[in-house]
């Protein structure tokens, strides 16, 4: 019966067999916390505890499913099914359906998702005849969600002058009316949104003592996974349910509390011992995942946080390699460094793509990494989102740009004719589409003469259609004398997409603005790179051709083969990889500029870096850029303070032989730099990356690896010295004629 207990070390076993009373398990990264939680529940059941009286709360369905399956293997599938185990929302929805009548709901109440909520809020804003640009439905929904998660009901809101004043100052004096109408409409429809599942459970347990007593008696043993991620509402529910027997076991790691932006309150785990003075605290400090150097480096960073629970994570794993630190001249060079490093490691160490992960602070940073991996023909997968050029805001802007180059592109026109909204609806679009089909005209040609064609569209709408035509036409005229960056800036200024998203102010909108900024940077990077291409002007048509080649490469990726993982650090939590690259270690990027105002925000950013470091099993490489484009302009960057917080004995700087010959040393009192020895390097010689410098000569038949275009064969050369040119057939980029004095490449010697 106890065979499974032999799989635990002593530190893991103690909380597992601790049956009664409050228990907190502080579990360091990679210490086996899920195993402890799983085996503890199985142990309770084998000790005779009724599975119906055990409650286990998780944050993901995946975690609940995996735990239940593992418990089933020990105690039997039937017994495991009797457990109350699931996410906070799923468990509380189950309770609410049983007790719905007490709150005036039917037991089969609907649950509105985010889209349902936003749709309802939009209709309320319209009914109240409010300015939809001022009262943006997503902003309103986020505000309502925040209030509900802090247990602020409509009544509580209206009775709080401070909250009401906040909305008046943000020019939304009617917010209270929207909130009240929204709640009334949901109630009338017998519907709850996701936030209601927490709010109404709190209301249920507070208003009806007999129901609280019922569930206190029911759930004699309560378990909470990732306790550091609980918000105020979740905390109160759990505390109320555990109040009678206090057989509560929480598992978490304060050092991995990284979701403050969505309401998680680290104080919940920090104050556990105050809430339960008789609690037992166990620490899982042995890391089974990472090397000693990685564990020690992570410890040295997190030790700088003041607000924390004391623990010292350690490991018996091998010492392993030091954290490698790379400095690159630009963020694009950073991407190329990462791709080259992965390429080299794969071949030298015989590793698979899925053993590598690239982690970044913001989604927009993926662009330079994606481009570089494509050039190296390294397949990758973006977790939690789309690849850069597939993101909606990027596709929208590219549609405008394509339309400038090719006015016959009907699909691009249809995509942007009413984005941002300019009063051109689907019915109108259908009418001009029918007319264009019947008369063998493009949509753009119809718009050009819209006032002369007999189409059943009112004059006001016809004027809007012609205004759109005129705007695109003016872009086409401007494009004759502008490069790709200049025309892009003109489009963005005139169309107003950036301002529209900025005014929306939601986290999603901010992320989209960051992506647009990165598109500008991509164009600037492209123009700089075109300097080495003979007869190139950096025009819009050249850029769109480059994007087309890039995105076409994605179609050739075999989905069955292992891929490099690209993701934000937030999404990486709970995952592990052999080799991890953490990019963009610069002040105002990581830590983010928004975190520098308060200690609590800065400490959360440091915990985020800790999470990133501890995703790695074998090796961590961190990198930063000396300069980074912001809205197309090159800005100097300062290395992140987190770099200097890693003790110098756990870190070493590296030079990239294929990127930067003039590696400038990081200005830090804490770090000394050394150049590592390379193990089994690829047999190559490098061209110099600096302008007008000497270069390695190449001739017809030579094979080169170019930083931007990947692998290619030299077809022909002409000229000599600083004016020498080479025509190269690249595997993924086609034929390019390059000026060698500008080119960044490696020559493969054989």
Active site positions, annotated:
33-34, 225-226, 256, 615
Tell whether the torsion through CA atoms of 721, 722, 723 and 725 is positive or negative: positive
DSSP-derived pairing of the beta strands 577-582 and 725-730? unpaired
From the DSSP assignment, how many helices (H) and strands (E) are in the chain? 30, 23
What's the rounded Cα separation, in Å, for the pair 264 and 25?
A: 18
Backbone angles phi, psi at 382, to 5 degrees: -95, 120
Which two tokens mark 311?
Answer: 């623990």
- Characterize 381-412 residue by residue with b for buried, 16 or more Cβ atoms within 10 angstroms of its Cβ, and e for exposed: ebeebebbbebebbebbbbbbbbbbbbebeeb
Residue 107 makes CB contacts below 8 A (sequence gap 6+) with: 97, 98, 100, 101
The candidate with the shortest Cα–Cα distance to 200, out of 83, 112, 86, 262, is 112
What's the rounded Cα separation, in Å, for the pair 630 and 518?
A: 8
What's the rounded Cα separation, in Å, for the pair 231 and 257?
A: 11
Residue 506 makes CB contacts below 8 A (sequence gap 6+) with: 136, 138, 139, 142
Cβ atoms of residues 554 and 733 within 8 Å: no
Residue 179 makes CB contacts below 8 A (sequence gap 6+) with: 143, 144, 147, 154, 157
What's the rounded Cα separation, in Å, for the pair 98 and 462?
A: 56
Distances, alpha carbon 421 to alpha carbons 58, 63, 581, in Å: 41, 42, 41
Cβ atoms of residues 490 and 482 within 8 Å: yes
Tell whether the torsion through CA atoms of 384, 387, 390 and 392 is positive or negative: positive
Cβ atoms of residues 217 and 244 within 8 Å: yes
Three-class secondary structure assignment of 591-654:
CEHHHCCCHHHHHHHHHHHHHHHCCEEEEEEEEEECEEEECCEEEECCECHHHHCCCHHHEEEE
């Amino acid at each position: 019966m106890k065979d499974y207990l032999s799989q635990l070390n002593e530190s893991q076993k103690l909380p597992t067999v601790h049956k009664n009373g409050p228990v907190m398990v502080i579990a360091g990264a990679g210490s086996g916390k899920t195993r402890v939680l799983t085996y503890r529940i199985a142990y309770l059941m084998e000790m005779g505890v009724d599975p119906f009286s055990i409650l286990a709360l998780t944050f993901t369905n995946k975690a609940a499913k995996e735990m239940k399956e593992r418990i089933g293997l020990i105690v039997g599938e039937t017994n495991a099914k009797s457990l109350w185990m699931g996410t906070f929302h799923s468990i509380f929805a189950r309770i609410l359906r049983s007790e719905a009548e007490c709150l005036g709901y039917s037991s089969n109440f609907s649950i509105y998702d985010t889209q349902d909520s936003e749709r309802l809020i939009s209709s309320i804003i319209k009914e109240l005849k409010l300015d939809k640009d001022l009262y943006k439905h997503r902003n309103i929904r986020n505000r309502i969600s925040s209030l509900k998660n802090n247990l602020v009901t409509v009544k509580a809101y209206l009775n709080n002058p401070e909250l009401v004043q906040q909305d008046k100052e943000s020019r939304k004096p009617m917010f209270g009316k929207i909130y009240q109408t929204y709640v009334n409409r949901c109630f009338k429809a017998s519907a709850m949104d996701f936030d209601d599942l927490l709010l109404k459970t709190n209301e249920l347990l507070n208003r009806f003592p007999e129901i609280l007593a019922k569930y206190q008696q029911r759930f004699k043993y309560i378990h909470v996974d990732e306790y550091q991620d609980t918000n105020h509402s979740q905390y109160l529910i759990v505390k109320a349910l555990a109040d009678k027997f206090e057989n509560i076991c929480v598992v978490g790691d304060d050092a991995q509390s990284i979701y403050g932006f969505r309401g998680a309150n680290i104080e919940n785990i920090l104050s556990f011992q105050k809430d339960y003075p008789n609690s037992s605290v166990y620490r899982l400090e042995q890391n089974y995942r990472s090397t000693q150097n990685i564990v020690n480096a992570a410890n040295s960073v997190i030790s700088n946080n003041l607000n924390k629970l004391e623990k010292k994570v350690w490991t018996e794993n091998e010492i392993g390699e030091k954290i490698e630190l790379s400095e690159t001249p630009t963020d694009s060079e950073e991407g190329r460094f990462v791709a080259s490093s992965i390429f080299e490691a794969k071949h030298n160490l015989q590793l698979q793509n899925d053993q590598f992960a690239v982690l970044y602070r913001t989604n927009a940073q993926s662009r330079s990494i994606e481009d570089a991996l494509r050039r190296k023909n390294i397949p990758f997968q973006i977790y939690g989102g789309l690849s850069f050029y597939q993101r909606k805001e990027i596709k929208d802007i590219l549609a405008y740009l394509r339309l400038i180059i090719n006015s016959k592109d009907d699909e691009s026109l249809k995509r942007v004719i009413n984005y941002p909204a300019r009063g051109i609806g689907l019915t109108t679009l259908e009418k001009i589409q029918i007319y264009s089909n019947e008369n063998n005209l493009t949509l753009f040609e119809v718009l050009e003469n819209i006032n002369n064609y007999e189409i059943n569209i009112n004059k006001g709408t016809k004027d809007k259609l012609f205004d759109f035509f005129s705007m695109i036409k003016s872009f086409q005229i401007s494009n004759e004398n502008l490069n790709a960056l200049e025309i892009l800036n003109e489009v963005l200024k005139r169309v107003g997409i950036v301002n529209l998203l900025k005014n929306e102010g939601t986290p999603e909108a901010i992320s989209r603005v960051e992506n647009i900024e990165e598109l500008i940077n991509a164009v600037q990077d492209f123009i700089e790179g075109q300097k080495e291409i003979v007869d190139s002007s950096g025009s819009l048509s050249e850029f769109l051709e480059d994007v087309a080649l890039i995105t076409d490469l994605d179609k050739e990726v075999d989905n069955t083969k292992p891929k490099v993982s690209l993701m934000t650090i937030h999404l990486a939590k709970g995952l592990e990889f052999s080799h991890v690259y953490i990019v963009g270690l610069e002040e105002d990027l990581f830590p983010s500029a928004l975190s520098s105002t308060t200690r609590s925000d800065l400490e959360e950013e440091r915990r985020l870096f800790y999470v990133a470091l501890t995703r790695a099993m074998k090796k961590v490489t961190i990198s930063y850029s000396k300069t980074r484009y912001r809205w197309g302009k090159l800005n100097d960057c300062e290395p992140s303070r987190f770099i200097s917080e890693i003790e110098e004995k756990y870190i070493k700087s590296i030079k990239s032989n294929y990127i930067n010959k003039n590696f400038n040393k990081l200005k830090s009192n804490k770090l000394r730099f050394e150049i590592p020895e390379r193990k089994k390097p690829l047999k190559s010689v490098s061209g110099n990356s600096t302008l007008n410098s000497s270069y390695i000569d190449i001739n017809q038949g030579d094979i080169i690896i170019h930083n931007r275009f990947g692998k290619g064969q030299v077809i022909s050369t002409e000229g000599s010295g600083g004016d020498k040119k080479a025509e190269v057939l690249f595997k993924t980029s086609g034929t390019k004629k390059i000026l060698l004095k500008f080119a960044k490449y490696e020559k493969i010697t054989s």
